[in-house]
Every structure is written in structure tokens, then in C-alpha cells.
Amino acid sequence: MSFEKVMMSDSKREKISHSVCVGGPMTLHTIDGVIRRVRPIVFTDDDPAGWVIKARGKEYTPQRKFTMSLLGYCEKDRTYAYDRLKYPMIREDFVETPDGKNRNTENRGKSGYRRASWDEALSLVAREIKRLQKTYGKETITACTSSHHSWGLVGYKISLFKRFFSMMGYTRVADNPDSWEGFHWGTPHSYGYYWRLGGPEPYDMLEMAMQNAETIICWSSDPDTSRGGYSAQESALWRWWMKEMGIEFVFVDPFNNYTSVKHATKWLGPRMGTDAALLEAIAYVWITEDTFDHEYVRQHGHRFEEFKNHILGLGPDGTPKTPKWAEELTLIPAMDIKALARRWAQTPTTVGSGMRGGFGGACRSSNGTEYARLLTLLSCMQGMGKPGRAFWGPGCGAPMNYNFWFGGYSDPLASIAGYPVCDDVPVNSVEQVLYRPNLPDAILDGHYEWYGEGFCGGGVDLEFTRHVYPAPGCNKVHCFWRYGGSFFGTMLDTNKWAKMYKSPELEFVINQDIYFTPETRHADVILPACTNIERVDIGEVGSSGLGGYCSHSESGNSWQVIVYQDKAIEPLWDSRSDFWIFSQVAARLGWGEKFTEGRTEEEWAKRFWQFSDLPKQISWEDFKKKGYYVIPVSMKEEDKDPKTGLYENWIRYPGFQWFAENRACDTMNHKVFQEEGLLGTFSGKFEFVSESLTYWAPDDEARRPIPQYQDSWEGHKSLSADKFPYGLISPHPRFDYHTHYNQHAKWLWEVPKNRVVINGNPYLVCHINTEVAERKGIKDGDVVRLFNDRGSCLCVARVTNRLYPQTIHAYTSSGIYNPIEYGKYKSWDKGGSINVLTPGRLIGDYVPAMSPYSCNIDVEKVDPDPNYGQGWEHILDAVDKQQLETERPIRTSAEADLLFGEKEAQYKKEAI
């Protein structure tokens, strides 16, 4: 954090505004244009009453504040971070050759930069776009963006970014469902819900579980860490309530995770990639002991007999899936497997995977689709939807008001690229598409083919559409515009991304970001954006939108809060809002007015208010003044408990109850056929033998018609296990979000389970079993090298009993990527970018899913060279010292608007 100087606090001069980040909605205090502090929103008497859940003789209601996570409290540190981009920059050895060749692309990643004026940088971008489009056509430019490097509906990727690039025309990069691959590609074939991308219905499940459940199984799930996705720490208190009322928690995860060490009655740590075998053995116990729900399976199951035969060893493989069989694969004693199977059958039990039930690392393995399908089928065998028996993760499903509409993040109706928010909907004129996990392969090899759309919410048939790059009649991509955040920590086989950037195929690379991230350092031109604290926006927290697939996921919050994200401080240094940057490029390309529709950012923000249910409750002026609005769980006074004044009634739609009770579906976000009591599979039932896979992909080796365990292409039985005997578990991080915090907010480096600073370098923490550490001479706090044939990553070891010897744990999504020899492929990474180790291979030919949980590694102790410091700050320091001689520096965005406003007419003329 670098203020110019330490300042004196004075609350009389404090100004209060609000904003949102992935850590939750925030109250910002500023003094003289500098952030003083970041507080949670603490509700006042003006805000509505909360809900009350009555269960087992007690009443439970949330605290009257929104519980931010640690990330929200880092916002001051992150805003004034040492790695902020202060000025537009151009790579110092970049040459603007007229043919796009000979541009020293091999130096991307290690070259320094020179400071540029906005005019110079933007003019270069516009010139290059015109040249590239003229030479190769519109498809030659591609662009992609992370999720939530900043927050707000105006600035979000399906809003502003989509508006700009659709208007310009570009080769879209399809996202893969990176956090829940196995559910997306698996469970539509077992229980439907392709329109929820494989996830279950969370509706009112918290109350249902608190009243009825006796066991909660968190499979591959660490809810205190994954925080419901975007729900900060809102659900943490619910789990204490449930534990304290006597519900028993069981955790199945190769790492005895942070929620588990606090809540678990029993923890089981299977070997990586063997979860499906464990589930098959549980089914074996139920079938042989006759402890499953026959009537339910008879009514709602499809071709159960064949599944049963497969489990009993009467199928083609002839192997009974006994607990002993599973013990050899999972290394969990058969007696523990039987005990869990019986507990699950005998008590009302909920089971869920990952943060919202249909997530979790286990589904991101080569066997992930089969694990996910089996989990839903086992839920069917125990009467899913009956009281206390659910497929649900205890990080969502709180009471909420389903009848209040505000288009949350990723809702197609809440985008400045679509109706009703904009008047003129831009349509991308380019049909060519790339696929994010294989973007480097496509660029480097010049050819790539795959099956499936990134997100197949429109139907299972979309999983089987064939794509070819370059698309027929299209040119290859020669320009990459990377916007916001770094994929180096999140996409697998990270080193191939670094390799891609060096390719001369990419004639021009633009990076638009707030920070000097690992990917930013590979750009030719860097456009510095400001944070959403430095501009106006509007947002809520937790929702994945009606069209955002995990519809109503804001039920991961105790409170539904919509925030007017006021500009708390002016953009720092020469940074500008993303809206301003895109508008300026659009102006130079001749369609500036078409892009903005004459609206300012605040006027765009107001459109989201206007087209929501907010105007019925609060005027724009009052909303702006107050800064936030809390949606009451009911709008009716008579729904309150007269004794406590808390809402005891609201419209309830317990998830999946309709199906168990054989009635028309009454939950939100359903399809018409569910009103006939059917699921979204071919048969309308739970498919123990999948008809859709039999129809579409009978030759699919990853997904068999009957879901079943298969040895991984990279697991304990593969050849590489001889060299690299440990399975790497790399879950979504507890102390970061995607890659958006760890490089920027140094406060996070002081969390001993996150990073340890040695010789100035913040090494990521990895967890190694006590026995392994002893055998390898590794002590707690030592620097170790995790490695395989793909790369090496230096970490600090935590020696622990929280995992078994076969597993090593390190969180994915390191925002820091710092090869010791910068720019050298496969150089040891000291930044903790664990995905230099994970395989780029997709789950299967028909399953274009990444599979970080299929990763074999080895570990050794190393002595860190004291010179392993940060490897790139000198680049920023050098730019800091440069002065612009040619042009008057622009100090404020208002000034800049004025200046560029004058020029716009001129650009327009030039463009014509």
C-alpha cells in the first residue's frame, strides 16, 4: 500500500459511500479523496427486518450486517497497491512495423515498458485495429476477460466488454465451466438441469435442512472457504447453528479442509480422482443391505436394474464394487466406507459437492463427470426431495424474495449490451470462436478442433457441436486484447500461455487492466483502468442471474443487498474507467456515439435501477443518497412474527420437493416439462443408464452410459506415477479470488496459511503429510519444489496431518507468476502459480473440460537463493521515473473527457 504519506484521521471530514467487491458489499469512508477505511454495511432501523427460521425449538435469525470476507477488508491495500498500473505504457522494444512482422514478440514477458500518453496509446491501438481488420478481417482480433476483477453491472464482462467487442466484431473466446466441469458435462445426463448447468435447486433448503436433516455430507466441499461463490461469509453462521443443534457433518475431501477441521464428525480423505469408486461402493452397501428407497427408485429411476447389476459385478466388467474394492482405490478402509453408507441410509442426510452443491474439485478430475452423475444417482436412491434428504451444499438456500427482480451479475437482461438496458443492441458479426482452455494451442498450432459450446445451458445437444479453428472462410487470430485479471493462475498448464504470448502469430497484444498482472507483462500496449471504487456503477452480490445458470444463487446470502457503487475517490494516477477507455477507442474507430448512446456511466447505472423492481420501492435520488437497498424477504407486514417483528413467512419453494411428492414443479427457474413432474433427461427420470449419452456419444470413453469409476489418464496407476508419485489437490483458494488479490494486497501475504515471505518473496503455502516430509527431510517452513514434466513451482511447506501421504495440497489461482528466469519457458515459478503443474489435457474427446485434479507431482526440499526476489517491480519503477515531455499530462478524467471530446469529431472524419 502506498499513500504518498501517512495522514491524520478526522472523522468530521469523512465522506461515506458504498461499493461491492467479491468480498461483499462495502461501506467506504474517505477523507480528502483518500480511502480511510472499508467497513461492512451495518443495517439500521430504516432497513427491513430479517427472516427467522424456527427449528428444533429455537429461532434463528442472521446478524444485522452483511458479513464481508477478508478480501473485502483488503480493498484499501489493493486500491493503493504497489503494482497498480499508473500510466499507459508501450513495450520498449515494440516496433510498429507496417506488416505486423519483426516486432520482437519473443521478448514479451521480460521487456521493459515506456510511459505513453493516453493519446499515443489509444491512437496506436486504433491504428493497429484498422490495419489488422483491413489485412485479415474482423475475425483476426480476439479478446477475453476474467470474471470479477472489478464489480458492477455497467463494467461487467457481459455488459461493457461485450458491448464494445460485439460492436467491433471479434473472435469470441468461449469460457469453459472451469469451477464445475463434471457437473456441467455430467449431471444433465443423470438428472437434467442442463439449464442450471448441472447444478441443483437450492430453494429454501437451509430451512428444510435445519428442520429435518441429521447428517450433512460435504463432498469435495469447503463452504467456509468457497463462500457460496460470491456470498462472502454470509453462510458461515448457519453452519455453526446446524452443528450446535446436533446435525453431524461429514467431509469427504483429500484435504481435511478448513470447514472440516471445525465441523466434521468424520473426515474421509480419498486418493485423488477416486471419488467415483467410493460412491459405487456406497451404492453396493445399500443394494446388498437393502437400505435404499425402493419405491422412489421404482417411480423416479430409469434402468436401475442395469446399474444394480453393474454394482454387483453382474455387468460386463464382472467386478463387484465392494467396499474392499474401493478401499484399494481410495485407500479409505472398507469399514469406514460401510459406516458412512449406513449413516447416510439410516438418517435424513443431505449431500452436496462444492460451494453450491454442484461444484467441487472432485468434479474437475478426469473422472469428474462420473463422480457428479453418481452423486445425483445416489441422492435418488435415498429419496432426494423428501424431508431432510437433499442434494444440496450448506452454502446456499436461505430464505429470499423470489418475486423482487433486479438483474444480477451475468443476467442477460442486465447488460448494457442487451435489451432493455441499451437502445441499440450490438451483434457480433464474426462467427469464429476459440475455446479458452486451448487458446494457446490454437494460436501456437494454428489449428484446433473440439466438441461443445463453453456453456451448454440451451440443451445437451450443444455438448456435441463440433468447432474448428480457424473456422471455414475465416482468417487466424493475430491480435489479442486481454481485459482484466490473469489466467496464468487459473488456466491449466500455465507455461503454454507464456509460450503463446511469445508467438509472432500474435502481431499485437493489448492488455487493459488495473494491475501489472502476469499477463499484463506480456502486452505490447497497456491501458491502465481504475478500480470500481474510482468510478460509478451499480451492483448486488451473490446472484448469478436468471440466465446466469446458477439462478437464485444469491440465496447464499442472509441478506439481499443492491448497492449504488458511488465513486469514492478519483481515478488514481493516469488510470481511467474501462468505460472511458472503450469509449475512446470506439471514438477513434468512428463509432463513439453509437457505443455510448450519449450516456455517462451514471446514466447507464440508472438504467439498471429503472428496469428492475427498485423504482417501486425507492427513488433513484434516495437510492443514490442511501447507497444501498435491502430487499425484504417479504413485502407484507402480516408475514412478520408479531412477537419478534421478524419475517416468519415468505413464499417457499423447497427445492426438489415437487418431484419427491409427484406434483407439478413449483420452484423458480424450471422448464415447462417439469410441470408434468418430469426431469430434464430424455426419460424425464433419474437415468441410471443415460439415454442421452447412448444417443449422442455411444463411443464416449470418458462418460459411459452407466457412470462408473475409471482409472485416470493421470492418476496413481498411470506411468507418470512412477516418477511423480503424489496427487496434487489444488482447490479454489481461501485467501484469494480467482487471481484478483494475492499479487496486489500484501496484507494477505501475512496470513501464515496463505504465504510466507522469505527474502522478500511471498512463497505460496503447500501442505505435505508428516510422514512424507520426514522421509524427504522437509521441515515446516522449508522452501520446497513441487514439480513434474510440465514445470516447477516453489512453495513453503506446511507439514500436516490434514492429508494422507499420497496427496499434496496447494491452492490454485495464485495471482503471482514469477519464473526465476523471466520469459524462460518452464523456469521454476516462485510465485505459487500451481497451474504450471496441472495438465492441459481435457477430460475426454467429447468432454472439453479441464481437469486440474488429475495431476501427478513430486516434491523436494530446495535452498532458496536469496536473489529470488520479486522479478518485475523494476519495470514499473523505471516507468515511474519517466516524464512525458511532449504532452501536458491529463490530471482528471473530466479534463480528459473535455480534451478528447474536442478530438472526437476529427476522429470521426478520419474514419470515414
Partner 1 sequence: MLKKPMKKPGIAINSARCMACYACFMACKDEHCGWDTALSKSQPEMGQYWMNIKEWERGDNPRRVKTATVPTPCSHCDNPACMAAAKDGAVYKRDDGIVIIDPEKAVGQKQIVDACPVGAVYWNEALQLPQKCTMCAELLDDPDYPGFEPRCVEACPNQALVFGDLADPESNISKLIAANKVTQLECLGDMGSSVVHLNIPQTFLAGTVAYPKELEEVCIGANVKVTGEDGTVYETVTNWAGDWEVEDLPRGKSWKVEITFDGFKPVVYDNERTDVDHYVGITYLEPAI
User: Which positions are annotated as active-site residues?
Assistant: 148, 178, 409
Residue 348, CB half-sphere, CA atoms under 13 Å: how many?
15
3-state secondary structure of 320: coil
Taking alpha carbons only, the member of 124, 172, 166 closest to residue 145 is: 172
CB of 266 to partner 1, least distance (A): 5
In whole angstroms, how close is the CB of 328 to partner 1 at the nearest point?
Answer: 13
Select 342 or 903, whichever has its Cβ closest to partner 1: 342
For residue 223, the minimal CB distance to partner 1 (Å) is 10
HSE value, Cβ hemisphere, 13 Å, CA-based, for 779: 1
Query: Which residue's CB is nearer to partner 1, number 753 or number 891?
Result: 753
Which grid cell is 434?
476459440
Q: Quick one: cell of 613?
A: 423492481
H or E, element range at 377: helix 368-381
- State in angstroms the smallest separation of the CB of 46 from partner 1: 13
- Nearest residue to 87 via CA among 876, 793, 893, 774: 876
- Torsion-angle region of 672 (φ positive above 0: left; ψ -120 to 50: alpha; else: beta): alpha
In the bound state with partner 1, the residue whose beta carbon lies nearer, of 334 and 878, is: 334
Residue 691: HSE in the Cβ half-sphere, 13 Å Cα cutoff: 14
Are 607 and 416 in contact by the 8 Å Cβ rule? The answer is yes
Of the pair 532, 667, the CB lying nearest partner 1 is at: 532
Which residue lies nearer to partner 1 by CB, 201 or 224? Answer: 224
> Within 13 A of 260's CA, how many CA atoms are on the CB side?
21
Q: How far is the CB of 269 from partner 1 (least distance, A)?
A: 7
Identity of the residue, 232 or 362, whose beta carbon is nearer to partner 1 in the bound complex: 232
Q: Which is nearer to partner 1, 73 or 191 (CB)?
A: 73
Per DSSP, the residues of 472-515 read: TT-PPP-EEEEESS-STTTSSSHHHHHHHHT-TT--EEEEEESB
Residue of 910, 287, 98, 892 lying closest to 534 (CA atoms): 892
C-alpha grid cell, residue 694: 447412448
**Nearer of residues 262 and 294 to partner 1, judged by Cβ:** 262
Q: How far apart are CA 252 and CA 265, in angstroms?
A: 11
Residue 544: left (phi > 0), alpha (psi -120 to 50), or beta?
Answer: alpha
Could you please report the per-residue DSSP string of 584-601?
Answer: HHHHHHT-HHHHHTT--H
Number of residues written out for the chain: 912
210's enclosing H/E stretch is: helix 205-212
Closer to partner 1 by CB, 689 or 797: give it.
797
C-alpha cell read off for 782: 522449508
* Pairing assessment for the beta strands 537-540 and 215-219 based on DSSP bridges: unpaired
CA dihedral in degrees (347, 352, 354, 357; nearest 10)?
A: -150
Q: What is the enclosing helix (H) or strand (E) of 448?
A: strand 448-451
Q: How far is the CB of 9 from partner 1 (least distance, A)?
A: 5
Q: Is 304 helix (H, G, I), strand (E, B) or coil?
A: helix
| Nearest-angstrom CA–CA distance, 414 and 153 | 7
Q: How far is the CB of 751 from partner 1 (least distance, A)?
A: 5
Residue of 107, 95, 130 whose CA lies nearest to 479:
130
Query: At 877, is the secondary structure helix, strand, or coil?
Result: helix
Nearer to partner 1 by Cβ, of 254 and 385: the residue is 254
